[in-house]
Chain A
């Protein structure tokens, strides 16, 4: 079942309160999204760990209810590195 972008954003922000979340609906079908998540909390984490943190926030929906989530994570200060 498709998920609303606002719901994805809410779940991420519930788990990572300082996150800046940008979501794009890639196909316009409510099922293929790209999310960019920026949080100071990601500092010092590997990319894998950053993505795992977002997947955990989405509570097992990625790969199931939410088929396609293209994910990009970043730390605020590292934007231009």
Chain B
């Protein structure tokens, strides 16, 4: 399966999935850490994919989303954004609404 297909599967199989560096317990980057903190704060149930453990996905996710950095959040198959957009949407309450509907 190509990286693209694997990512499409992950996004389809998980209502809320965060592509990140490291794990929820041990994020390996400040931006990924911030994304996890936001999801935890909202009490979300989510899956994570550690791109550091998977070079193919690490390279592929950038093309898949047309987005140059990690973390990247997908909710119900839709790309939501990176940690800056997550923070803006957290502050405005939009992210909570989106996650509750997921």
Contact = CB atoms under 8 A, between A and B. Distances in A.
Interface of A: 47-48, 51-52, 55, 60, 62-64, 68, 70-72
Contacts, number: 32
Interface in B11-44: 30-31
A59 to B, nearest CB: 10
B18 to A, nearest CB: 16
Interface string B64-102: 001111000000000111101100110000000000000
A55 B2 CA distance: 26
Closest 10 CB pairs of A and B: A63-B68, A63-B69, A62-B68, A47-B85, A71-B84, A55-B68, A48-B81, A70-B84, A47-B81, A52-B66
B88 A47 contact: yes
Contacts of B31: 68, 70
Main secondary structure of the interface of A (DSSP, over half): mixed
Given A51-B81, A68-B30, A60 B88 contact: no
B32 to A, nearest CB: 12
6 contacts: A47-B85, A48-B67, A51-B67, A51-B82, A60-B68, A71-B84
Contacts of B88: 47, 72
Contacts of A72: 84, 88
Contacts of A51: 67, 81-82, 84-85
Contacts of A63: 62, 68-69
Contacts of B69: 62-63
A72 B67 CA distance: 15
